[in-house]
Chain A
């Protein structure tokens, strides 16, 4: 009897050690961290900032300046509320004291400078595909933006979602740090569009259905689903739904907010358009070309209407 208890205790301890080890935050090993510092080009970084939609979440709500990145926006989810942090250049309250390597770690590994996991409400699942040199450009641009004082509130999450260490296990299952591979069948515009979309614009983070653990269900990637934040329905943007939209229609919508049906986009897409409208035409066209190339995928069944 005592022997059995010992075995159980030993097994539990092993599981604990294994879980603790497996859930450890793993920063990226940067070969050239020092070389990236100070190498960024703010002008180029602005494109990644706008394509990445940073302002949509990090701009302080309730004011019009989208470059005041004081944070505070609340993102509701089934797990609780995530509050976007201050990413302004403020040294104490924002990320003004960060090195480029810190931003690379945050975006590519979802790990903070203090070595903690970030929640994937910050879409590092997408940003992980960004190249370090482009992240250095983004950092140069972020440093050029105003410092906003005041830390944002903490996330409002219930147990067990408030245990950050648990994200290590979530990452093991749901987070792949694979870079995009060059597709020789596609041209330079498409490749640029895919890179801006898959490494920055994170369209799929909203226009997909998520499973019970909050990971994107590959069957419904880009095929729409329930809006986690607002309770509406996020549309399918694969060719199953928008085959009658030309690439030009998509690019125009991203610039103006106007759809080829003569309607206007609403909700959080309005804020996406504000970012996208900042991009050079060629980049918007490239994104549109890539979205237009998404294979047709049927969306998830819609809930019965009452």
Chain B
């Protein structure tokens, strides 16, 4: 009896782990949270609440560029709904455009990272990267409910 319970427990634990790794909705939400968190640190600089620090800016741009590499693959046909996602069905109807928007975001973040070396170049180039966020969110993210 105890062996059955133990085996069951191991099985359940195993299944949960596999699901955790293969849960694209959770994975993309975590990635988005990382992007927001890194960007919020930069926001403090933009608002003048924190002094300019090149590392903070470069770190955020790297998180953004990295997200653009992994995110497009986190929208398989099997992860359209469930897990409280705000992803709109339009993502799968316009997959090519959706993927292209990620590519543009990644490219813009990478190019900004190369351009930004000091506070002046930061002020000139960072904001444009963020405009990718609302362009894509407007088309593919549902309003909060």
From B40, B84, B130, B134, give the contact of A261 (CB < 8 A): B40
Q: With an 8 A cutoff between CB atoms, is A230 at the interface?
A: yes
* Shortest Cβ gap from B83 to chain A (Å): 12
Query: Would A264 and B145 count as touching, CB distance under 8 A?
Result: no
With A260-B40, A264-B134 known as contacts, the answer to whether A305 contacts B142 (CB < 8 A) is no
Chain A residues with Cβ below 8 Å from B143 are: 227, 230-233, 266-267
* Shortest Cβ gap from A268 to chain B (Å): 9
Which residues of chain B from 25 to 79 have any CB-CB distance to chain A below 8 Å in the complex? 35-41, 43, 46-49
From B39, B127, B138, give the contact of A262 (CB < 8 A): B39
Q: With an 8 A cutoff between CB atoms, is A4 at the interface?
A: no
If over half of B's interface residues share one DSSP class (helix, strand or loop), that class is named, otherwise mixed; here it is helix
Q: With an 8 A cutoff between CB atoms, is A256 at the interface?
A: yes
Closest to B43 in A: A258
- Per the bound structure, the CA–CA distance linking A256 and B130 in Å amounts to 10
* Shortest Cβ gap from A87 to chain B (Å): 26
Q: With an 8 A cutoff between CB atoms, is B133 at the interface?
A: yes
- Per the bound structure, the CA–CA distance linking A233 and B47 in Å amounts to 27
Proximity string of chain B (107-145) to chain A, C-beta cutoff 8 Å, 1 when within and 0 when not: 000000000000000000001001001100110011111
Chain A residues with Cβ below 8 Å from B142 are: 232
Interface residue tally on A, bucketed by range = 20 to 34
From B35, B38, B137, give the contact of A266 (CB < 8 A): B137
- Per the bound structure, the CA–CA distance linking A306 and B36 in Å amounts to 27
With A231-B143, A302-B145, A305-B84 known as contacts, the answer to whether A249 contacts B47 (CB < 8 A) is yes
Proximity string of chain B (61-105) to chain A, C-beta cutoff 8 Å, 1 when within and 0 when not: 000000000000000000000001000000000000000000000
Chain B residues with Cβ below 8 Å from A65 are: none
Residue among A227, A246, A252 with the highest chain B CB neighbour number at 10 A:
A252
Closest to B132 in A: A264
With A252-B46, A256-B46 known as contacts, the answer to whether A263 contacts B141 (CB < 8 A) is no
Q: With an 8 A cutoff between CB atoms, is A61 at the interface?
A: no
Query: Would B36 and A233 count as touching, CB distance under 8 A?
Result: no
- Per the bound structure, the CA–CA distance linking A230 and B134 in Å amounts to 17
Q: With an 8 A cutoff between CB atoms, is A24 at the interface?
A: no
* Shortest Cβ gap from B63 to chain A (Å): 10
Chain B residues with Cβ below 8 Å from A248 are: 47-49
Query: Would A266 and B134 count as touching, CB distance under 8 A?
Result: yes
- Per the bound structure, the CA–CA distance linking A231 and B144 in Å amounts to 9
Residue among A232, A257, A266, A305 with the highest chain B CB neighbour number at 10 A:
A266
Q: With an 8 A cutoff between CB atoms, is A184 at the interface?
A: no
From A232, A262, A264, give the contact of B38 (CB < 8 A): A262
Q: With an 8 A cutoff between CB atoms, is A120 at the interface?
A: no
Q: With an 8 A cutoff between CB atoms, is A265 at the interface?
A: yes
Q: With an 8 A cutoff between CB atoms, is A76 at the interface?
A: no
Which B residues fall within an 8 A CB radius of A? 35-41, 43, 46-49, 84, 127, 130, 133-134, 137-138, 141-145
Which A residues fall within an 8 A CB radius of B? 227, 230-233, 235, 246, 248-249, 252, 256-258, 260-267, 270, 302-303, 305
| 18 sampled A-B residue pairs with Cβ under 8 A | A227-B143, A232-B143, A232-B145, A233-B143, A235-B144, A246-B49, A248-B47, A252-B46, A252-B47, A257-B134, A258-B39, A262-B38, A264-B133, A264-B134, A266-B134, A266-B143, A270-B138, A305-B145
